[in-house]
Structures are given as structure tokens and as C-alpha cells.
Amino acid sequence: MNRFLSENKINISANTIKSYLNYFEDSFIIYSSQRYDVKGGRYYKTPLKYYFSDIGLRNARINFRQNEQNHIQENIIYNELKKRGYSVDVGVVVYDDKTLNKRKEVRLEVDFVVNQADQRYYIQSALNIDSYEKRDQEITPLKKINDSFKKIVIIGDDIFSKYDDNGILYISIKEFLLDENIINR
């Protein structure tokens, strides 16, 4: 956000931006999700992550120019989870990477930490996982979570749902949208 403002020579205060975001939330144009420290069990106050309540309004506002399929898919999944009655947060997984005898704190994002009553799911959104690197990028945060709750990757490609050796469930976006109980299986 700061880079966008400085590159376009826009002078606006953080409080003004916060006020506008609050107005948009109050108008149900956008929703916010808090960041949740999965291992520490606490919420971060900032930064929040925002999702549009209506992708069509988002696309119309930007004249259908930015067709970022990965962000659109993530937003659709968020909206569907909210529609199904889940509480949806953005997960943060912090761990120590000890390579080359140096300790480095690494923070990874889990797209969604989904809660309802005593159920919890960790969900990643990916357009595809057609390479080892992309697959590893998506599942590494899930593998770093050491609890027994279900871990899911929702993929934009048409795939048959399956579990991998790590117990992670892979399902297609179509399957997710058409079957409200798919994540409970």
C-alpha cells in the first residue's frame, strides 16, 4: 500500500485509509480477516487482510483490468466459507529455520484458518500445483502445523480429491463449491 501511494504521489494518512476501510466494511463491500498465530494461539492486531464481498463489484471498479486468478479464487473461497457459517482467519506459522548454522525466524501464511464450534481446518488456495516447487510452497505451512486438525489444499485445476502421504486433502475448487460437506469428510 505504501509503495502504491508513494509511486503515485498520493499523500494520505494511515488514519484516513483506516477510516475508509471501516466505511467499506460497515457497508458490507469488504470483509476483513485477522491474522492468527497458529502455534502461539494469539491474534495479531495488524495487518488485517481484506476480501471483497462481491467479486463482480471489484472487477467492475477496476474496469476488469487486473485478472489475478489466484486472488479471485482465494476471495471466492473466503466468501463461500463465510456463507457456510465458518469463522475465517488468516494463519501465520512461525518457525526457526536452522540452515548453515544460522538461526532465522521464518513466517509463512496459511490462507485460511477456519473454525466452527470445535472444528478447525487449515486451507490453502492454489490455482495449480503443477510443479514440485509450487506444491512445496503450498504445503510447507501446513506441514509446519503440529496438530490433528484437517489440512486442505483447494486447487483451481480439475482434479480428483485425494490425500497425500502427509494427510493433506487436495480438492478442486469446483468440488469445494458444489459440495458443502466436502471438507468434513
Task: Read off the CATH number of the domain in which 82 is found.
Answer: 3.40.1350.70
* φ/ψ (deg, to 5) at 70: -65, -40
141 domain residue, yes or no: yes
Give the residue numbers spanning the domain of 70: 34-47+56-184
Q: Are 168 and 151 in contact, with CB atoms under 8 Å apart?
A: yes
Say what the pTM is: 0.88
- 26 within a domain of the structure (yes/no): no
Q: How many domains does the chain have?
A: 1
User: What is the number of residues in the chain?
Assistant: 185
Q: What is the mean pLDDT of the chain?
A: 90
In a domain, 158, yes or no: yes
Q: Is residue 142 part of a domain?
A: yes
* pLDDT grade for 108, boundaries at 50, 70 and 90: very high
The answer to whether residue 29 sits within a structural domain is: no
Residue 84 lies in a domain: yes
Residue 15 lies in a domain: no
Model confidence at 139, pLDDT cuts 50, 70, 90, reads very high
The pLDDT of 159-184, averaged and rounded, is 94
- Specify the pLDDT at position 14: 83
Within a domain: 162: yes
Taking the CB of residue 121, how many other CB atoms lie within 10 A of it?
19
